[in-house]
Amino acid sequence: MQKYIDQFQMYWEQFAIKLSLTHDKNTSIYSILLSAYTEPERHYHTVQHIVECLQLFHQIKHQLQDPIAVELAIWFHDVIYDPKVSDNEEQSAELMKKLCTEIVDQAQIPKVYWWIVATKKHQPSLDSDLNYLLDIDLAILGSDSNRFAEYEQQIQQEYSWVEPSIYKIKRAEVLHYFYAMQPLYQTKYFRENFEKKAKHNLTSVNA
């Protein structure tokens, strides 16, 4: 995990420079983000997930209309995470708004707010940048077999409070929902690089 924390910090320092953050603002926001993504009850929605998202972001950022806004959404989209409640995305968006209103262009705040909320249902959008954000968030489904197996274990750990037989049914419903999406990924880059593997992973879970 320390490897991911180091990368998390490196990516944040780069982003803070882009935003021209003051030392105090930089330190304050980073502390909140690091504390959130290292909460002991988290297993998937951690610094590892954010680092993996940012690695993909840097591969496709040249295709974005507003890369600053997309990166901001990545940093905050899971900052609030409690699997026992249904408004994590809304709470995450509210925290982003509270902390970031003064550090980015005012026009970006409502857009990023909506994008974060949109990660709840992952519905295709007419907004190209949002589609990239959603594809980045779902890229884990198209990861290599070992990482996908680790991901499934991590999700199960976050829902360890659910009775196992119930969890199995509910998890199968979630995975089938994603499998049934045609296509699963909304951007050409992710369809070409992740779609086939994701569909294979999704069918192999309960095989």
Q: What is the pLDDT of residues 151-180, one digit of tens each?
A: 999 999 999 999 999 999 999 999 999 999
Q: How confident is the model at residue 25 (pLDDT cuts 50, 70, 90)?
A: very high
pLDDT at 207: 53
Mean pLDDT of the chain: 96
Does residue 127 contact residue 17 with C-beta atoms inside 8 Å? no
pLDDT at 8: 98
pLDDT at 204: 85
Average pLDDT value for residue range 62-87:
98
Average pLDDT value for residue range 82-92:
97
Q: How confident is the model at residue 206 (pLDDT cuts 50, 70, 90)?
A: low
Average pLDDT value for residue range 182-197:
97
For residue 22, count other CB atoms closer than 10 A to its CB. Answer: 11
pLDDT at 205: 77
| Cβ neighbours for 56, distance < 8 A, ≥ 6 positions apart | 136, 139
φ/ψ of residue 21, rounded to 5: -70, 145
Average pLDDT value for residue range 21-43:
98
φ/ψ of residue 38, rounded to 5: -115, 15
| Cβ neighbours for 142, distance < 8 A, ≥ 6 positions apart | 185, 190, 193, 194, 195, 196, 197, 198, 201
- Kindly give the residue spans of alpha helices, DSSP state H, lying in the chain: 2-19, 23-37, 47-60, 67-76, 88-100, 108-118, 128-138, 145-158, 164-180, 188-190, 196-204
Average pLDDT value for residue range 96-103:
96
Q: Percentage of the chain surpassing pLDDT 70? A: 99
